[in-house]
A and B are shown apart, each in its own frame.
Chain A
Amino acid sequence: AQSVTQPDIHITVSEGASLELRCNYSYGATPYLFWYVQSPGQGLQLLLKYFSGDTLVQGIKGFEAEFKRSQSSFNLRKPSVHWSDAAEYFCAVRLRDTGRRALTFGSGTRLQVQP
């Protein structure tokens, strides 16, 4: 079945450490890919997106993500985490050239930042 997987439910990193959040999808063709962040009690904010072209995309708040077709992955990275990055992160996909306009979301990764 087509799906989006975020294998890490919860990650804890120290402030200043690097971060990588994993996302894998299982679709036949490359979908449009998104990362969103949700602070406690808030809606989702778009961090970055990949449609085509350069496989390394830059987003807001110092985040980047790399699309790897061979691994069906779109992992989110940040070189140095700040305490304000503590939040829940969602990977999402949208199939190209289909009638489905909605996104399919992974189940999320909650990031905790230790001082």
Chain B
Amino acid sequence: DVKVTQSSRYLVKRTGEKVFLECVQDMDHENMFWYRQDPGLGLRLIYFSYDVKMKEKGDIPEGYSVSREKKERFSLILESASTNQTSMYLCASSSPIYKETQYFGPGTRLLVL
């Protein structure tokens, strides 16, 4: 079974803090994704990566950056957290072998005070 893990289930941070969200997958998938989920808006793509050190902006990249130094790990960085970044963050991975079927981690619920 595909396993995608996220470093924290819940995080509370203060405005202006730098925040790191970590995601690890164990299926050797080429692609990894970060989404945020807000009520009534579904999932919106922040960034994705199709290879080590490669990344592309998604639909809402403002205020975020990412890092992929190893194939299995994809980090989302909030350079200076703001209250409007309070949300649920979901990581996913996929491979073209499976027609990009995405497998998700359990999510990190972030509260920025």
Contact = CB atoms under 8 A, between A and B. Distances in A.
Interface residues of A, number: 22
B100 A101 contact: yes
A48 to B, nearest CB: 10
A101 B48 CA distance: 9
Contacts, number: 52
Interface residues of B, number: 25
What's the dominant secondary structure at chain B's contact region?
strand
B77 to A, nearest CB: 19
Contacts of A49: 99, 101
A102 B45 contact: yes
Interface in B79-113: 90, 92, 94, 96, 99-107, 109
Interface of B: 4, 31, 33, 40-43, 45, 48, 50, 58, 90, 92, 94, 96, 99-107, 109
Interface of A: 9, 32, 34, 36, 41-46, 49, 51, 90, 92, 94, 101-103, 105-108
